[in-house]
Amino acid sequence: MSRQLQETSDLLQQFKRLLTDDASPQSYVPKDLNDLKNWKATIDKHLSTAALYGDAFNADAVLGLPRLQIEAVWFRLSRFVGPETRDLYTPGRIPTRFNPGAELGGGFATLALADDISTATFELTKNVDLAQTVELLKRLNLMQFRVSLDDVVDLTNPDTVSTALDIDFGALLGMGFHNRLSVTQKICLTLVRSGCTGALFPSRNTVGKKNLVLFANNIRSQQSIAVLSVKSLMAS
């Protein structure tokens, strides 16, 4: 949100001449009118996104999003391979893209998966230089999961999300900031409290790909998630 505010401020500086009280509409040239339309569209987008950071959050709209039955193979890179699937969940006390952590009212365990190997890899290595990436991959295992779940909320369609939640689709890719929940964290908190088993989100790092986040407390059957394989990515 702070980035969007800065973008808006910079944009307004470009229209300082047009926004003064003594500016006459007759003084506008065609390019000015086109620029003003673009400016309005940008402001409207930022305002719609800002709505989710306020106190009024439309939980009913989130719960009204499409639900899916998931029956597919998903992937994850991990250093840890426990004896049970539940050992792989990120504890609720640790903030993630999906869980704000206990201090901000979250505290629910999650397991985030990717829909292919490339996406799973890029989730962890996007901001790491080449030398560090090689060393990191040496320490990781590629895990393949079979997921069979009902009641998974789908947030991967831009038109559906924008219409139902009245926000810009890009808001789902944003991060939280100090003492404030991100849009994605707010949505997940609502879904966890309603009993949903998981949610599909757009990948933040790979265009067109998806992340599946699972909510541990709402998954009753251990047969719903099975580890199919665990392989070391690289020989040390």
> Looking at the structure, do residues 43 and 123 belong to the same domain, yes or no?
no
pLDDT band for position 141 (cuts 50, 70, 90): confident
User: Which pLDDT score, from 0 to 100, does residue 151 have?
Assistant: 92
User: Which pLDDT score, from 0 to 100, does residue 10 have?
Assistant: 63
User: Which pLDDT score, from 0 to 100, does residue 232 have?
Assistant: 79
What average pLDDT does this structure show over 13-20? 59
- Rounded distance, CA 160 to CA 222, Å? 31
> Looking at the structure, do residues 47 and 125 belong to the same domain, yes or no?
no
pLDDT at 146 over 90: yes
Q: Per the structure, how many domains does the chain have?
A: 2
- Rounded distance, CA 56 to CA 233, Å? 45
Torsion of CA 88, 92, 96, 99, to 10 degrees: 120
> Looking at the structure, do residues 10 and 79 belong to the same domain, yes or no?
no
Residue span of the structural domain in which 23 resides:
2-53
Lowest mean pLDDT among 1-5, 79-83, 121-125: 1-5
pLDDT band for position 101 (cuts 50, 70, 90): confident
> Looking at the structure, do residues 140 and 158 belong to the same domain, yes or no?
yes
CA atoms 212, 217, 223, 227: torsion sign: positive
Lowest mean pLDDT among 42-51, 116-125, 162-171: 42-51
Contacts of 80 by beta carbon, 8 Å cutoff, 6+ apart = 87, 88
> Looking at the structure, do residues 168 and 145 belong to the same domain, yes or no?
yes
> Looking at the structure, do residues 39 and 73 belong to the same domain, yes or no?
no
**Helix ranges (DSSP H) in 51-129:** 59-63, 117-125
* Residue with tokens 């290595």, as numbered in its chain: 125
> Looking at the structure, do residues 162 and 85 belong to the same domain, yes or no?
yes
pLDDT at 134 over 90: no
Whole-Å CA distances, 148 to 47, 72, 126, 221, 225: 38, 7, 29, 10, 6
Provide the 3-class DSSP secondary structure of residue 28.
coil
The secondary structure of 95-112 as a DSSP string is: --SS---GGGT----EEE
> Looking at the structure, do residues 111 and 167 belong to the same domain, yes or no?
yes
Q: What is the pTM of this model?
A: 0.71
> Looking at the structure, do residues 30 and 92 belong to the same domain, yes or no?
no
> Looking at the structure, do residues 16 and 101 belong to the same domain, yes or no?
no
pLDDT at 15 over 80: no
Query: Can you read off the two tokens belonging to residue 234?
Result: 């690289």
The per-residue pLDDT for range 46-99, each reduced to its tens digit, is: 555 555 444 445 888 999 999 999 999 999 988 766 656 667 898 999 888 999
Tell me the pLDDT of the chain averaged across its residues.
78
> Looking at the structure, do residues 21 and 75 belong to the same domain, yes or no?
no
> Looking at the structure, do residues 36 and 129 belong to the same domain, yes or no?
no
pLDDT at 17 over 70: no
